[in-house]
């Protein structure tokens, strides 16, 4: 659907679906062509993976009660980016027009004379109940279903009397905080207290749970059993059918944690050898592009200590429309093979890489290689290892340490089981280890596989006993370690 064709760029409102495998082909193709993507917190991981790696990524939050940007600001940002002549994607979980405020964005774009398009998504109002085995319609039980928002603007109340009279299925989205009110008002307006009802928490995630009960006892069950958001509340006879779809049994349960990008890289590497991975991303990256110095090309060396640094620098480079000739006299140093491979994907070869992939060894090699007067620009995480700069200081080398990105804790589901027992647990960073053990514990028999020695040290400090390190510090190295081709105790 297109309106008001104009000379500016265009905006696509894309629904990402509500779980793995539910992003449509049209959605994937649109994301692959995007210049700028504004995405919400609840976008499934496979939606984020389809974004053009050279695109500008702009997180705009949007969880119930925790908005990082208000709707008016999002509308303005969409218009501004489109007027820069860009192909802009507004990426949302579920469907843009089902409580996604896509209509408001379309109105703002149309009023500004910006062309807009819609790519429908699979709404959680249907897909999540179906995933748990609950049909929203069923012959003889429910001839209709009604989707209701659990919270409304300016405290506006639903017509509880009208909802209570409906004979079909009621599906409440974003309503967990008002569960007690929902159940009480429906009973008060005539719904039978023993009407079947369910809470479906964390659908399509490794922490999903289903709580069944009735309007009378569901609030108490939610408290006792730890219901958590995102959740769907479903009311009606179909909740009492007792259907439970079969789940595929994975002969080797493998869990990976870290950033969404790292989890995705590991999942793809292991899928190539027929292994299924459960992803638990607990970290996310916040770009700090404002820290990149204007004279970055006046440094003889650019130093990267992770794939993330390479990926983010070149994302900024392209979005800022820099000239690649500015990098003609620059040399590149990388901490390891995975970082060097990412650099090669950007069209550049690493000039320097230590045999042992640690910050200390990289710093030592730079100290031995740089000549008097050489300067290097360190482009890395805000909480980068002090070993790198310690070695540079020891060698008397000139450098500037630039925090290119910040690693922060990702908001994950709460209330689910905290003791996990996978056969294999994969970590990609020491920070990932520490954040994981702030929330979870591991069964002692779990085999722990780490991407590098620093990560392995953090795992041992956290109390893990069966710790191995991939011989090659990359997703492919992790795959090889699981295939018994290369790991170190």
373-377 — which CB contacts under 8 Å span 24+ positions? Answer: 373/398, 374/300, 374/301, 374/398, 375/298, 375/299, 375/300, 375/301, 375/399, 375/400, 376/299, 376/300, 376/301, 376/302, 376/303, 376/333, 376/400, 377/293, 377/296, 377/299, 377/301, 377/302, 377/303, 377/402
Based on the residue annotation, tell me whether 393 is a catalytic residue of this protein. no
Query: How many helices (H) does the chain have, and how many strands (E)?
Result: 16, 23
Q: What tokens appear for 100 in the block?
A: 């996604």
Kindly give the pairing relationship between strand 254-258 and strand 231-235.
Answer: unpaired
Check: CB of residue 96 under 8 Å from CB of residue 102: yes
Residue 242: count other Cβ atoms within 10 Å of its Cβ. Answer: 9
List alpha helices for 179-295, DSSP H: 179-188, 218-225, 260-271
User: How far from 458 is each of 49, 314, 380, 476, CA to CA, in Å?
Assistant: 28, 30, 20, 21
Residue 258, beta-bridge partner list: 281
* DSSP, residue by residue, 69-103: S-HHHHHHHHHHHHHTT-EEEEEESB-TTSSS-HH
* DSSP element (H, E) containing 454: helix 453-461
* DSSP element (H, E) containing 40: none
Find, among 373, 382, 199, the residue nearest to 290 by Cα: 382
Based on the residue annotation, tell me whether 174 is a catalytic residue of this protein. yes
Check: CB of residue 299 under 8 Å from CB of residue 377: yes
Q: What is d(CA 374, CA 370) in angstroms, rounded to the nearest whole number?
A: 6
Check: CB of residue 120 under 8 Å from CB of residue 24: yes
Q: Which residue among the candidates 46, 81, 174, 212 is catalytic per the annotation?
A: 174
Residue reference for tokens 């290369």 = 486
Main-chain phi, psi angles of 471, to 5 degrees: -65, -35
Q: What is the largest CA-CA distance in the chain?
A: 84
Based on the residue annotation, tell me whether 401 is a catalytic residue of this protein. no
Q: Which residue among the candidates 40, 46, 95, 212 is catalytic per the annotation?
A: 40
Q: What tokens appear for 463 in the block?
A: 């109390």
Check: CB of residue 197 under 8 Å from CB of residue 186: no
Q: Which residue among the candidates 46, 62, 191, 212 is catalytic per the annotation?
A: 62
Find, among 296, 294, 267, the residue nearest to 281 by Cα: 267
- Catalytically active residues are 40, 62, 174
């Amino acid at each position: 659907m297109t309106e008001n064709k104009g000379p500016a760029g265009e905006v696509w409102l894309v629904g990402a679906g509500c779980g793995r495998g539910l992003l449509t082909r049209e959605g994937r193709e649109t994301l692959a062509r995007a210049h700028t993507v504004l995405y919400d917190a609840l976008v499934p991981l496979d939606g984020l993976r389809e974004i053009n790696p050279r695109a500008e990524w702009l997180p705009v939050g949007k969880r119930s009660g925790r908005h990082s940007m208000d709707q008016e600001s999002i509308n303005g940002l969409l218009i501004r980016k489109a007027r820069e002549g860009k192909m802009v994607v507004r990426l949302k979980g579920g469907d843009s027009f089902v409580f996604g405020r896509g209509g408001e964005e379309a109105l703002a774009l149309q009023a500004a004379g910006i062309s807009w398009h819609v790519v429908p998504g699979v709404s959680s109002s249907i897909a999540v109940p179906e995933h748990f085995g609950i049909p929203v319609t069923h012959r003889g039980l429910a001839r209709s279903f009604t989707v209701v928002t659990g919270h409304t603007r300016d405290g506006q109340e639903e017509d509880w009397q009208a909802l209570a009279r409906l004979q079909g299925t009621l599906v409440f989205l974003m309503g967990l905080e008002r569960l007690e009110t929902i159940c009480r008002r429906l009973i008060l307006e005539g719904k039978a207290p023993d009407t079947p009802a369910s809470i479906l928490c964390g659908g399509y995630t490794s922490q999903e749970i289903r709580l069944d009960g009735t309007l009378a006892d569901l609030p108490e069950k939610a408290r006792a059993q730890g219901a958590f958001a995102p959740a769907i509340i479903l009311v009606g006879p179909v909740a009492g059918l007792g259907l439970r779809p079969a789940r595929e049994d994975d002969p080797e349960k493998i869990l990976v944690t870290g950033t969404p990008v790292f989890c995705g890289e590991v999942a793809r590497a292991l899928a190539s050898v027929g292994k299924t991975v459960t992803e638990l991303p607990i970290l996310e990256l916040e770009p700090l592009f404002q820290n990149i110095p204007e004279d970055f090309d006046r440094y003889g060396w650019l130093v990267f200590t992770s794939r993330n640094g390479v990926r983010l620098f070149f994302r900024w480079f392209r979005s800022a429309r820099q000239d690649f000739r500015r990098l003609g006299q620059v040399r590149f140093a990388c901490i390891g093979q995975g970082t060097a491979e990412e650099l090669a994907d950007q069209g550049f070869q690493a000039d320097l890489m230590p045999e042992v992939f640690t910050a200390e060894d990289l710093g030592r090699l730079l100290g031995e290689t740089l000549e008097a007067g050489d300067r290097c620009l360190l482009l890395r995480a805000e909480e980068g290892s002090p070993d790198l700069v310690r070695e540079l200081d020891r060698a008397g080398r000139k450098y500037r340490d630039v925090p290119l990105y910040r690693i922060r804790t990702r908001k994950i589901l709460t209330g689910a089981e905290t003791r996990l027992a996978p056969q294999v647990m994969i970590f990609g960073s020491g920070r990932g280890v520490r954040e994981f053990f702030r929330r979870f514990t591991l069964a002692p028999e779990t085999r722990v596989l780490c991407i590098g020695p620093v990560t392995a040290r953090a795992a041992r400090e956290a109390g893990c006993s069966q710790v191995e390190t991939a011989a090659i510090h990359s997703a492919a190295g992790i795959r090889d370690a699981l295939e018994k081709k290369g790991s170190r105790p």
